[in-house]
Structure 1
Amino acid sequence: MKVREEIFTVKSYECRPDGNIKTACLMQYLQEAAALHAEELGFGVDGLNTINSYWVLSNLRIEINRIPKWNDEITVKTWPSGYNRLIATREFVARDQNDCELFRASSQWMVLDKGSNRPKNLFHLDLSLSKTGLKALSEKLVRLEPQDNYSEVDRISVPYSSIDLNGHVNNTEYVRWGIDALRKAFKFEGNIRSMHATYLSEVFEADELDLLLSYTKNEYFYVLAKRSDGQNNVHVMEIGC
């Protein structure tokens, strides 16, 4: 198992007013650790550029033991944990400067062709990965399905600042929008124990999205992002408080 460690220090501008890290910024740590490890293994941005392709996050679940706060030093360990024809999986475990576990996560990724935006067959790529590996979470990672009884909370026009290296909305932006929608609807403080995000469709600058919320009695919030023209859903998120 090939494991990479990345050390991050929580910056003041990554924190909420209570001093805890914003969920979207925490997600950025995972994304950066994954990207750097992929580069090290030879199939990162530079490697995939040679075959006119790029990675996209398809599904992720994170379980939090303690939310990192300002000036915490976070060591993120990450490793690839298997793949099939369309999906490659990657795991994360993070600990603080006292070696106490902060959070762990499992994720699923796809390789898309830049020309067609269609997923590529991973069996046809030279990824040099094991087809199975150790998982960070005990439960199998499955894709979220939209809930019933959503209520519309907000409508956004995707700004240029949300677009990343691949020319589409970065996966962490959906999380930021979801947390902001919860704040708007329920005065949500931001402390969570779990977050599950399933990505359904790419979104680009100036696209119009509706953000809808649903709440269950077991203290789970659900956020659905859909195109304002009603054509399709683009993102589903579950937040456990």
Structure 2
Amino acid sequence: MKYTEKYQIEYSDCDENQHLKIPVMIDLFMQVSEHQLDKGHAGIADLLKRGLGWVVTQYQIKISSLPKPGEHVILSTEAAGYNRFFEYRDFGIADQDGNSLVQVHSQWIMFDLKKRKLTAVDEKMMHDFDVPLLQKMPRFPRLRPLDKYDEKRQYRVRYDDLDINHHLTNSHYFNWFIDMFDRDFLKTHLIQTIDIKFDKEVRYGQVTYSCMTLSKEPVKSYHAIENEDGKEQAVCEIGWRKI
């Protein structure tokens, strides 16, 4: 069942070009999803009592247009299906007339917060939310890290970067990706597509490296988050268009 909420885009949600920031967009999706889950007693507070949490493993995002300050939009989310270990959830942003601006497919696992590993999907919860059991796994792009990246920048995970699952919140990865570009590029280009896969959780105090290679034709950027040993913890590809 699709769940929707109305929302007005604020200036604080947007960058200097008055486009919705990607990390804010991700946070809005988490917010609308949490509101839906809360209504079915499957939100953060309910899962914490069981020592569990939701963790995203992959996003596929298509952006037609990013809303601007003052615009009224419709945020939506829907549990699209599940199998033994994964739950699939769609998100969207539409304008007030219902025209699609952003479409997102995502893959999630249920995470044992004490053992720090995935656990099987709660079938009763899926039944209560009328989520269909899938016979085949939805296909996401196969993302692999490059052998070498042109640029690297070091970051340290701060306390305020953590989410309720005690690791780097997924929206914050995009801050590190976007920070790799110079201002002139960001003032003249907009994101069209994002494909990201989260391989390993990033924990408090960890020193990581945001890595990037930018291709000019077509304009596409390749990213990874690596630990100090050079092991990737997330891989991302972003497609851009010139304004």
TM-score (norm 1): 0.89
Do residues 6 (structure 1) and 8 (structure 2) align? no
* Aligned 8 A contact 2:19 2:66 in 1: yes
With over 3 angstroms needed to count, the CA separation of the structure-2 counterparts of 1:124 and 1:103, relative to structure 1, is: closer
Paired residue for 1:227?
227
The DSSP-based 3-state class of the residue aligned with 1:116 is coil
Task: Report the Cα distance in structure 1 between the residues aligned to 2:39 and 2:169, rounded to whole angstroms.
Answer: 22
Root-mean-square deviation over aligned CA pairs: 2.0
Task: Report the Cα distance in structure 2 between the residues aligned to 1:124 and 1:117, rounded to whole angstroms.
Answer: 21
Task: Report the Cα distance in structure 2 between the residues aligned to 1:56 and 1:34, rounded to whole angstroms.
Answer: 13
> What is the number of equivalent residue pairs in this alignment?
233
Cα distance, 1:66 vs structure 2: 0.7
In structure 2, give the amino acid aligned to 1:77. Answer: S
Task: Report the Cα distance in structure 2 between the residues aligned to 1:79 and 1:85, rounded to whole angstroms.
Answer: 18
Task: Report the Cα distance in structure 2 between the residues aligned to 1:45 and 1:93, rounded to whole angstroms.
Answer: 21
Runs of 4+ in 1 over 4 A off after TM superposition: none
Paired residue for 1:170?
169
TM-score (norm 2): 0.88
Task: Report the Cα distance in structure 1 between the residues aligned to 2:142 and 2:52, rounded to whole angstroms.
Answer: 23
Task: Report the Cα distance in structure 2 between the residues aligned to 1:234 and 1:22, rounded to whole angstroms.
Answer: 23
Q: State which drifts further: 208-217 or 22-31.
A: 208-217
**Unaligned runs of at least 5 residues, structure 1:** 134-138
Paired residue for 2:186?
188
Paired residue for 2:132?
130
The DSSP-based 3-state class of the residue aligned with 1:57 is strand
Q: How does 1:30-49 map to 2 (within 5 A)?
A: 30-49=29-48
Paired residue for 2:78?
79
With over 3 angstroms needed to count, the CA separation of the structure-2 counterparts of 1:99 and 1:170, relative to structure 1, is: same
Q: State which drifts further: 62-71 or 31-40.
A: 31-40
**Unaligned runs of at least 5 residues, structure 2:** none
Task: Report the Cα distance in structure 1 between the residues aligned to 2:122 and 2:13, rounded to whole angstroms.
Answer: 38
In structure 2, give the amino acid aligned to 1:188. Answer: L
With over 3 angstroms needed to count, the CA separation of the structure-2 counterparts of 1:147 and 1:19, relative to structure 1, is: same
Deviations 1:109-142 (A, max 9, x none): 1111011111001166643232149xxxxx9324
